[in-house]
Structure 1
Amino acid sequence: MSGAVEKVQPSASPRIVVGYSSRPEGRAALRRALSEATLRSAGLIVLHGADDDLVELTADLDAAGVAYELRAPEEGSDAAEDLIEVAEDTGAVFIVIGLRRRSPVGKLLLGSNAQRVLLDASCPVLAVKAE
């Protein structure tokens, strides 16, 4: 992934990578990642989509008081691959992703991006559900 870094604050070690979107599952992932970063004195690397509200996102991150870095993947890139690559490149302690609630039939299948991250990441993955 060679997306541009939009805002950088001093990075802390260890690092947590979080996949963010403005949907409920993305906000749930961010909330949990912020909680974990505070608990572990870790920094966050937040991968966000092109359509996300960066003003709201940076306000939430600034209010939490954790070191963070925002990254936007290149247009058309693969979200799962980007999360895995960033985690490996930065030595992240884990990845946080959000999961959508599914119907009974939908529960038989896990979303393809979530499944790829869970199965292919070399570090632990924390998957959270939206409330």
Structure 2
Amino acid sequence: MTIVVIHHSSPQGDAALSAGQDLSRERNEPLLILDARSGSNAPGTDDLEHRAFIQKVQKALDSDISWNAELVEPGEDPPEAIMEHIRTVQPSIVVLGTRHRSAIGKMFLGHTVHRYLLEIDSPILLVKPSHK
């Protein structure tokens, strides 16, 4: 099986990547790190985004972790595009980062995180960055 990490360039995405690495070690399963492309039509953007994404993942993960990273075409609905990709992979678990929420914010989690929680069939580990 595979562990999927939904990543975005933020402290929440970094927390998800770190938690995914820990799970990968515990379960001896490879990681698949997913993010959505920006959707820009500017020439060369796809290649630049892909290289930057791969470099960020390489820096964040230890060399003993087996992983693959993919940028998903966002289409009209980037979260749906990522969820569709996850459905084809059928991971053992999905790791997703979120930020600290106020009492009111906890009720709603955030639209995208809420969608992921409701629509992804695999187990989900929701993590937040540590406050140091």
Q: Is the strand fraction higher in 1 or 2?
A: 1
Evaluate the alpha carbon distance shift between residue 74 and residue 37 of structure 1 in structure 2; reply closer, same or farther with a 3 A threshold.
same
1:19 is the counterpart of 2:18: no
Please state whether the residue corresponding to 1:17 is helix, strand or coil.
strand
Per-residue Cα deviation, 1:69-122 (whole angstroms, up to 9, x for no partner): 111121445343233222221121111100111233322311111111111111
Is this contact kept in 1: 2:97–2:126, CA < 8 A?
yes
Do 1:17 and 1:86's aligned partners in 2 also have CA atoms closer than 8 Å? no
For structure 2, list consecutive stretches of 5 or more residues without a partner in the other structure: 39-48
Q: 1:30-84 deviations in whole A, cap 9, x for unaligned? A: 00001001100101110124477432322323x2422111111214453432332
Q: Secondary structure of the residue that 1:72 maps to in structure 2?
A: strand
> 1:46–1:68: 8 Å Cα contact kept in structure 2?
yes
Deviates more, 1:31-40 or 1:42-51: 42-51
1:102 alignment counterpart = 101
Matched residue, 1:59: 59
SS at the partner of 1:127? Answer: strand
TM-score normalised over the length of structure 2 = 0.77
Larger CA deviation: 75-84 vs 32-41: 75-84
Report the counterpart of residue 89 of structure 2 in structure 1: 90
SS of the residue 1:45 aligns to? strand
Once residues 95 and 48 of structure 1 are traced to their aligned partners in structure 2, the CA distance between those partners, rounded to angstroms, is 13
Decide whether the 8 Å contact of 2:94 with 2:123 is kept in 1.
yes
Between stretches 85-94 and 121-130, larger displacement belongs to 85-94
- The root-mean-square deviation of aligned C-alpha atoms, in Å, is 2.0
1:130 aligns with 2:125: no
Distance 1:50 1:83, change over 3 A: closer
Inter-partner Cα distance in structure 2 for 1:96 and 1:82: 17
Aligned residues: 117
Q: Which structure has the larger Rg?
A: 2
Q: Give the SS at the match of 2:100.
A: coil
Contact kept, 8 Å, 2:108 with 2:114, in 1: the verdict is no
Name the CA shift for 1:43/1:111 in 2 (closer, same or farther; >3 Å).
Answer: same
Q: Give the corresponding residue for 2:35.
A: 48
Q: Select the structure that is richer in helix.
A: 2
